[in-house]
Amino acid sequence: MQTSHPFVLGEIVNTQVLQEIQDKFSEATGFGAVIVDREGNPVTRPSNFTCFCSYIRSEPQGLARCVNCDDWGGRQNQKPCVYLCHSGLTDLAAPIIVQNEYIGAFLAGQVVLDNKNADAKAEMFRRTENLELDRQLLSKFYDIVPIVPENRIKAAADLIYIMSNYIVEIGVANIVGKQLVDELQSKANLEALLRATELKALQSQINPHFLFNTLNTIARLALLEGAGRTQEVVFALADLLRNNLRDIDVLRPLEQELKSITDYLTIQKMRFGERIQTVIHVDSQLMKAEIPALTLQPLIENAIIHGLEAKLDGGTVEITGEIVGNSMMLYVIDSGVGMSEDMIHAIFQSEKRTKTHGQTTGLGVINVHKRIQHYFGNDYGLTLDSKLGEGTRIAIRLPYCSD
């Protein structure tokens, strides 16, 4: 089932585009710059970093402090923030927020504010005293850090705010574009699925009235000739075809779906005899609940043809149902040959269905799963557990309302 996940800056905006934006800003202003993710980790290569900052980051504790400081600066406001970094330099930060979610920040600065009333260098030494760095090198690198007037810092802050908004616009456009592509692909897949289902129904119908009338005639002849088992199978087949062809695109009560299953199992019983045993045990409260037509039959058909037919001694197919919270849980359990994890994964990943022999409906596991999600959403559908040599258990989750 699909689950939502946080936006990742490098996924919604090409990293090369971010790098070019950052490099142009740094080239135009002379400020150091970097773009970081939601945890403060760089997603771009630093541009025009000062020797002082590069030296601070060369020490593990200094680097950790820089990352934490970058993270703190980016999260301060919905607008640009001017602040003293952990080492005493003046930095700027503009958050990058996409669809109300903070995903990173545009950081710049690494300058000293032109303020003659403050001893900025002494403050730098105080802030870095517990870092294992050479004091003489620190002093040397600090002395060549650019000293910038306040109005230039404010102008740079406004500029990174404009740039961060531009990044947001790119990100939103990419998200919308991806969602549109996903929706179009999903719609195309669903339409192909429905077309295939309709085609199978049309192929099966021939002329339904002629087919049903012929089957009823055969059943009556069987009765006249004393062939009771033949009559039973023919009537079961007629009811099965009538219900399935009529209800292919609608919801129907579980009770009616189970009636179709009984007809189907009657036919299979004649074919396999005592090799296949069936058990149906469904909570009576569920009988009026509506489910998509042909939800259970394809799963039971798979259980018999692919699970039990290959076993010389046959086995059992069990259909059960219960209420779990606000859901209806139906289970199709067989004691067949089972499947490997790779086979299960392939069933849910493959978009191209392989043809299977002997199936009357042409609807496989993934088809049932997608039709359920089409009707009720991605919280519902099939889960499949199986062990080679032991059997398979398919759980079907559907919404349930006690009303």
The CATH number given to whatever domain includes residue 288 is 3.30.565.10
Residue 62: other Cβ atoms inside 10 A: 19
**Same-domain check for residues 168 and 298:** no
Name residue 237's amino acid: L
- Residue 286 lies inside a defined structural domain of this protein: yes
Q: Directed axis angle between helix 365-376 and helix 341-349, to 10°?
A: 50
CATH of the domain at 162: 3.30.450
Residue ending a domain, choose from 180, 214, 237:
180
Residue 314 makes CB contacts below 8 A (sequence gap 6+) with: 272, 274, 275, 276, 277, 308
Separation between Cα atoms, residue 111 and residue 92, nearest integer Å: 10
**Same-domain check for residues 171 and 274:** no
What is the arrangement of strands in the sheet containing 315-324, beginning at the earlier edge strand? 276-282, 315-324, 327-334, 391-399, 381-387
One DSSP character per residue, 136-185 reads HHHHHHHHTSPEE-HHHHHHHHHHHHHHHHHHHHHHHHHHHHHHHHHHHH
With cut-offs at 50, 70 and 90, classify the pLDDT of residue 177.
Answer: low
Domain boundaries, position 74: 9-180
Of 196-200, 299-303, 313-317, the least confident: 196-200
**Same-domain check for residues 41 and 137:** yes
- Residue 153 lies inside a defined structural domain of this protein: yes
Residue 223: both structure tokens together: 């009765």
Computed from CA positions of residues 364, 394, 346, 178, in that sequence, does the dihedral angle turn out positive or negative?
Answer: positive
- Residue 273 lies inside a defined structural domain of this protein: yes
**Same-domain check for residues 148 and 295:** no
**Same-domain check for residues 145 and 272:** no
Count of domains observed in the chain: 2
CB-CB contact of 80 with 160 (8 Å): yes
- At residue 356, does pLDDT exceed 50? no
The pLDDT of residue 397 is 96
- Residue 380 lies inside a defined structural domain of this protein: yes
With a threshold of 0.75, does the pTM exceed it?
no
% of the chain at pLDDT higher than 70:
74
Q: Is pLDDT larger for residue 248 or for residue 100? A: 100
Q: Read off the pLDDT of each residue in 333-349 and give the average, rounded to a whole number.
A: 86
Residue ending a domain, choose from 150, 165, 180:
180
- Residue 207 lies inside a defined structural domain of this protein: no
CB-CB contact of 158 with 25 (8 Å): no
- Residue 225 lies inside a defined structural domain of this protein: no
Query: Of the candidates 389, 298, 394, which has an alpha carbon nearest to the alpha carbon of residue 340?
Result: 389
pLDDT tens profile 222-274: 666 676 667 666 666 666 666 665 555 678 899 988 988 888 887 777 777 88
**Same-domain check for residues 19 and 163:** yes
**Same-domain check for residues 279 and 368:** yes
Separation between Cα atoms, residue 135 and residue 161, nearest integer Å: 35
Q: Where are the beta strands (DSSP E) in 305-380?
A: 315-324, 327-334
**Same-domain check for residues 147 and 32:** yes
The pLDDT of residue 234 is 67
- Residue 222 lies inside a defined structural domain of this protein: no
Element (H, E) at 349: helix 341-349
Beta partners for residue 84, in sequence order: 90
Residue ending a domain, choose from 180, 207, 239:
180
**Same-domain check for residues 263 and 156:** no
- At residue 179, does pLDDT exceed 80? no
- Residue 100 lies inside a defined structural domain of this protein: yes
pLDDT tens profile 272-298: 788 889 999 999 999 999 998 888 988
Number of alpha carbons in the 13 Å side-chain half-sphere of residue 109: 28
- 147-148 and 101-113 beta bridge pairing: parallel
Separation between Cα atoms, residue 141 and residue 71, nearest integer Å: 24
Residue 356 makes CB contacts below 8 A (sequence gap 6+) with: 305, 306, 364
